[in-house]
A and B are shown apart, each in its own frame.
Chain A
Amino acid sequence: MNLNEFPLIALAAIACWGLGSLLQIPARKSKAFQVSSWLLLLSGTSVLVVFLASYWIALERPPLRTLGETRLWYATLIPVVGFLVEYRWKIKWLKYYCLGLATFFLGINLAYPDVFEKALMPALQSVWFIPHVVVYLVAYVMLAASSVSGWHNVLLNFRSKRSTVSESMSHYLALLGFVLLTFGLVFGALWAKEAWGHYWTWDPKETWAFISWLAYLGYLHLVARKTDPRSLQWYLGLAFIVLLVCWFGVNYLPSAQNSVHTYSG
Chain B
Amino acid sequence: MQSSNNPVQAGPPSGGFTKPAVFTIAAILAGFAIELLTSGSGITVPGWPFNFYFLALLSITIAVVGLKFREQPLVSWLGGIPVGLSLIIGLAVLSLVGGVVPQDPAQPGSLASLLRLNGMFSSWPFAFVTLLFLFNLGLSFVWKTVPFRVANLQFILFHGGFWIALSCGLLGTSDLQRLVIPLYEGQESSVAYEMPSEKPVRVPYSIYLKEFVINEYVPQLALYDPADDKVIADKSNMLPEAKKGVKAEWSGIATVTVLDYLPSAILDDKGNPAPALHKKGVSVVKVRVVEDGKSYDEWISDGGPDVKPRFIPVGKYFLVMKAGPPKAFRSDVMIKGIDGERRTELLEVNKPVDFRGWKLYQMGYDEKAGRWSTMSLVEAVHDPWLPAVYCGFFMIMAGNLLYFWKGVKKMEAA
Residues of chain A having any CB pair with chain B under 8 Å: 2-4, 88, 116, 118-123, 125-126, 164-165, 167-168, 171-172, 175-176, 179, 182-183, 186, 189-190, 193-200, 202, 204, 207-208, 210-211, 214-215, 217-218, 221-229, 232, 250, 253-255, 257-258
- The answer to whether A221 and B81 have CB atoms under 8 Å apart is yes
Q: Contacts of B414 on A, CB cut-off 8 Å? A: 168, 172
- The answer to whether B381 and A198 have CB atoms under 8 Å apart is yes
- The answer to whether A226 and B3 have CB atoms under 8 Å apart is no
* With A182-B396, A199-B389, A254-B101: A221-B88 Cβ-Cβ less than 8 Å: yes
7 A/B residue pairs, CB under 8 Å, sorted by A: A121-B326, A122-B329, A171-B7, A172-B411, A176-B408, A197-B379, A254-B100
Q: In the bound complex, how far is the Cα of B201 from the Cα of A121, in angstroms? A: 30
Besides A119-B327, A211-B95, A254-B100, 10 new A-B residue pairs in contact (Cβ under 8 A), listed by A number? A4-B237, A164-B6, A167-B8, A171-B8, A199-B393, A202-B98, A208-B99, A225-B82, A229-B10, A255-B101
B99 partner, pick from A222, A232, A255, beta carbons under 8 A: A255
A92 CB to closest chain B CB (Å) equals 15
A219 CB to closest chain B CB (Å) equals 10
- The answer to whether B397 and A186 have CB atoms under 8 Å apart is yes
* With A4-B237, A119-B327, A197-B178: A214-B400 Cβ-Cβ less than 8 Å: no
Q: Contacts of A122 on B, CB cut-off 8 Å? A: 326-329, 348-350
- The answer to whether B85 and A194 have CB atoms under 8 Å apart is no
B90 CB to closest chain A CB (Å) equals 10
Q: Contacts of A176 on B, CB cut-off 8 Å? A: 404, 407-408
Q: In the bound complex, how far is the Cα of B98 from the Cα of A208, in angstroms? A: 9
B295 CB to closest chain A CB (Å) equals 27
A146 CB to closest chain B CB (Å) equals 12
**Residue of B at shortest CB range from A116?**
B238
Q: Is B5 an interface residue (CB 8 A)?
A: yes
* With A126-B350, A198-B381, A223-B7: A179-B407 Cβ-Cβ less than 8 Å: yes
- The answer to whether A3 and B92 have CB atoms under 8 Å apart is no
- The answer to whether B5 and A168 have CB atoms under 8 Å apart is yes
- The answer to whether A207 and B95 have CB atoms under 8 Å apart is yes
CB 8 Å contact bits of B1-36 with A (1 = contact, 0 = none): 111011111111110000000000000000000000
Q: In the bound complex, how far is the Cα of B103 from the Cα of A257, in angstroms? A: 10
Q: Is B176 an interface residue (CB 8 A)?
A: yes
B324 partner, pick from A119, A172, A189, A190, beta carbons under 8 A: A119
**Residue of B at shortest CB range from A194?**
B350
- The answer to whether B103 and A229 have CB atoms under 8 Å apart is no
Q: Contacts of A121 on B, CB cut-off 8 Å? A: 325-326
A215 partner, pick from B92, B176, B237, B403, beta carbons under 8 A: B92
Q: Contacts of A199 on B, CB cut-off 8 Å? A: 169, 386, 389, 393
- The answer to whether B237 and A3 have CB atoms under 8 Å apart is yes
Q: Is B104 an interface residue (CB 8 A)?
A: yes
A175 CB to closest chain B CB (Å) equals 5
**Residue of B at shortest CB range from A178?**
B403
A116 CB to closest chain B CB (Å) equals 5
Q: Is B50 an interface residue (CB 8 A)?
A: no
- The answer to whether A186 and B85 have CB atoms under 8 Å apart is no
B103 partner, pick from A120, A164, A255, beta carbons under 8 A: A255
* With A214-B92, A221-B88: A255-B102 Cβ-Cβ less than 8 Å: yes
**Residue of A at shortest CB range from B235?**
A4
Q: In the bound complex, how far is the Cα of B3 from the Cα of A228, in angstroms? A: 13
- The answer to whether A255 and B100 have CB atoms under 8 Å apart is yes
Q: In the bound complex, how far is the Cα of B407 from the Cα of A232, in angstroms? A: 18
Q: Is B361 an interface residue (CB 8 A)?
A: yes
A240 CB to closest chain B CB (Å) equals 15
- The answer to whether A229 and B8 have CB atoms under 8 Å apart is yes
* With A226-B13, A254-B102: A221-B7 Cβ-Cβ less than 8 Å: no
Q: Contacts of B361 on A, CB cut-off 8 Å? A: 196-197
**Residue of A at shortest CB range from B84?**
A221
B173 CB to closest chain A CB (Å) equals 10
**Residue of A at shortest CB range from B170?**
A200
A224 partner, pick from B81, B324, B393, B404, beta carbons under 8 A: B81
Q: Contacts of A226 on B, CB cut-off 8 Å? A: 9-14
**Residue of A at shortest CB range from B86?**
A218
CB 8 Å contact bits of B266-310 with A (1 = contact, 0 = none): 000000000000000000000000000000000000000000000
Q: Contacts of B102 on A, CB cut-off 8 Å? A: 254-255, 257
Q: Contacts of A194 on B, CB cut-off 8 Å? A: 350-352
Q: In the bound complex, how far is the Cα of B410 from the Cα of A168, in angstroms? A: 11
Q: In the bound complex, how far is the Cα of B102 from the Cα of A172, in angstroms? A: 36
